[in-house]
């Protein structure tokens, strides 16, 4: 990239000496070298007028200058391309009349139909914290070398509302900006399967156009891959597309709400392919990141709440960034309505209303769920038996009671058949330790938790 820039700058210097200043600045403004391909230099020009003129008038001169600097140049081609917006001198908007009138909501509708990317998602408004820095680093590596890096395919997973879509769309937008010649395509697995189904319904000709369509991209991004489970033929098609792209050194990026190995009903050959590149997860943001996110969002809305409000929001709302955003929006809306900043005491009930109410469950109910999961009789848990099939559910139940419901060790012991609190402590520690490297157990507990 920089090599082209230097070459073109030197060419321009040489041309500048030969041409009159007026001629030079009129015709060579906003030109650059887009790419060099086998001795053919492709010069980007701002419009057809310039293209025509350079071709008819200055072609020989340009070719000569390029050859002087770089001997293996055989030809020059001209291509009209979009001038980067920042290069165009901008006029200041007169804001007087505009500010009082609300805008038509056009800004959200700029989704590019050709590549499916929403230009709103960029790295400029992406907040990096320790929760997503690995994913961010991987994305930066991809930007440096699209396709030919070790992070191909990149698989990003994390639970909903943590910024997966933002990150992968930002990669797409950034690649588009840095390498205008690369073809970028963003789709969701749902759109992909609908597209596939439509093409199946319409016979072999459409099937081929479908195959062709997805194989021509240099960067292929697919969001929410977990929805492909149980769609066998769609998976098969994705498998073929994946192979084709991968063998041609094209970059592939996936996102999902869980690790590929835990996506149910997903073909093994797909799972193993997903795992062949880089798998990174996005965790829940920690307190500092939450503060940074809130600040950025508030700034974007030109709303500056007192520090203590942000602090309170960040410390009381965990996890999901989307929820955090929603709460902030609610607060912005309320303060606009009241035309003043809200106090902490006004915000507290607000958060209580919007955050999920935690279910209150009796110990008996919890034990019932656990026993149901392991399909054993509930009574056995309370008995003094150390049979293996009873022991594990009992320990799991103790673990969940302690970990999720914060019930004291003696109470747990008492309620589960009059056991000593040290027994409960032992069970708790045992499960906790096992969780570190026992994958099936981890899944079991996740599934049990989902049932509450």
- CB-based contact 241:247 (threshold 8 Å): no
Residue 260 CB: number of other CB atoms within 10 A? 19
Residue 299 found at the interface with other proteins (CB under 8 A): no
For other proteins, give the closer residue by CB, 61 or 292.
61
Least Å distance between CB 329 and other proteins?
A: 17
For other proteins, give the closer residue by CB, 88 or 137.
88
Binding mask 320-359 for other proteins (x = CB under 8 A): ----------------------------------------
Least Å distance between CB 248 and other proteins?
A: 25
For other proteins, give the closer residue by CB, 80 or 197.
80
For other proteins, give the closer residue by CB, 53 or 350.
53
Binding mask 71-110 for other proteins (x = CB under 8 A): ---------xxx--x--x-xxxxx-xxx-xxxxxxxx-xx
For other proteins, give the closer residue by CB, 78 or 399.
78
Residue 124 found at the interface with other proteins (CB under 8 A): no
Which residues face 191 on adjacent strands?
Answer: none
Distance, CA of 140 to CA of 305 (rounded, Å): 33
For other proteins, give the closer residue by CB, 213 or 432.
213
User: What φ, ψ does residue 34 adopt, rounded to 5°?
Assistant: -80, -45
Residue 111 found at the interface with other proteins (CB under 8 A): yes
Report CA Rg, the chain: 30
Least Å distance between CB 103 and other proteins?
A: 5
For other proteins, give the closer residue by CB, 57 or 216.
57
Cα–Cα distances (Å) from 418 to 336, 370, 411, 415, 421, in that order, read 57, 19, 9, 6, 9
For other proteins, give the closer residue by CB, 1 or 22.
22
Least Å distance between CB 344 and other proteins?
A: 29
Least Å distance between CB 55 and other proteins?
A: 9
- CB-based contact 407:421 (threshold 8 Å): no
Least Å distance between CB 81 and other proteins?
A: 8
Residue 263 CB: number of other CB atoms within 10 A? 19
Distance, CA of 286 to CA of 275 (rounded, Å): 27
Residue 30 found at the interface with other proteins (CB under 8 A): no
Which residues are within 8 A (CB) of 420 and not within 5 positions of it... i.e. 6 or more apart?
A: 413
Count of residues that bind other proteins according to CB under 8 A: 40
Least Å distance between CB 45 and other proteins?
A: 10
How buried is residue 290: exposed, middle or buried, by Cβ count under 10 Å (0-12/13-18/19+)? Answer: buried
Give the torsion sign (CA, 266, 272, 273, 276).
Answer: positive
- Using CA atoms in the order 252, 257, 261, 249, what is the torsion angle rounded to 10 degrees? 0
Segment contacting other proteins (CB under 8 A): 45-53, 132-140, 222-230, 325-333? Answer: 45-53
For the record, the structure tokens of 296 come out as: 């950025």
Least Å distance between CB 82 and other proteins?
A: 4
Distance, CA of 47 to CA of 27 (rounded, Å): 10
User: What φ, ψ does residue 36 adopt, rounded to 5°?
Assistant: -120, 130
Binding interface with other proteins (CB under 8 A) = 21-23, 25-26, 47-53, 56, 80-82, 85, 88, 90-94, 96-98, 100-107, 109-114
């Amino acid at each position: 990239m920089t090599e082209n820039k230097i070459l073109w700058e030197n060419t321009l210097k040489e041309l500048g000496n030969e041409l009159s200043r007026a001629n030079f600045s009129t015709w060579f403004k906003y030109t650059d070298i887009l790419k060099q391909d086998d001795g053919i230099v492709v010069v980007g020009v701002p419009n057809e007028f310039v293209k025509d003129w350079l071709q008819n008038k200055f072609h020989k001169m340009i070719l000569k200058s390029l050859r002087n600097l770089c001997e293996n140049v055989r030809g020059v081609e001209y291509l009209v391309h979009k001038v980067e917006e920042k290069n165009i001198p901008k006029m200041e908007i007169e804001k007087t009349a505009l500010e009082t009138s609300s805008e038509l909501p056009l800004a959200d509708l700029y989704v590019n139909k050709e590549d499916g990317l929403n230009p709103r998602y960029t790295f400029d408004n992406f907040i990096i914290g320790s929760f997503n820095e690995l994913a961010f680093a991987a994305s930066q590596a991809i930007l440096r070398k699209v396709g030919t890096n070790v992070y191909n395919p990149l698989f990003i997973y994390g639970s909903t509302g943590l910024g997966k879509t933002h990150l992968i769309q930002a990669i797409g937008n950034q690649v588009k900006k840095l390498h205008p010649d690369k073809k970028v395509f963003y789709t969701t697995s749902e759109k992909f399967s609908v597209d596939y189904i439509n093409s199946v319904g319409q016979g072999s000709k459409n099937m081929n156009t479908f195959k062709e369509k997805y194989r021509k991209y240099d960067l292929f991004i697919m969001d929410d891959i977990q929805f492909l489970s149980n769609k066998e033929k769609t998976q098969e098609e994705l498998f073929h597309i994946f192979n084709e792209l991968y063998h041609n050194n094209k970059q592939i990026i996936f996102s999902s709400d869980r690790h590929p190995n835990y996506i149910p009903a997903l073909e093994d050959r797909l799972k193993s392919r997903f795992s062949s590149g880089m798998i990174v997860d996005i965790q829940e943001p920690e307190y500092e990141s939450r503060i940074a996110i809130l600040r950025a969002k508030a700034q974007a809305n030109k709303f500056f709440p007192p520090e203590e409000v942000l602090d309170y929001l960040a410390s009381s709302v965990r996890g999901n960034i989307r929820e955090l955003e929603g709460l902030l929006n609610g607060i912005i809306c309320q303060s606009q309505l009241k035309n003043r900043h809200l106090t902490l005491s006004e915000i507290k009930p607000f958060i209580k209303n919007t955050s999920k109410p935690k279910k209150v469950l009796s110990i008996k109910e919890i034990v019932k769920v656990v026993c149901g999961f392991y399909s054993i009789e509930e009574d056995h848990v309370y008995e003094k038996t150390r049979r293996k099939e009873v022991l594990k559910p009992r320990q799991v139940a103790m673990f969940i009671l302690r970990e999720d419901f914060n019930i004291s060790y003696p109470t747990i012991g008492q309620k589960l058949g009059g056991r000593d609190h040290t027994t409960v402590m032992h069970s708790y520690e045992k499960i906790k330790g096992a969780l570190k490297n026992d994958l099936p157990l981890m899944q079991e507990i996740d599934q049990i938790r989902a049932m509450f």
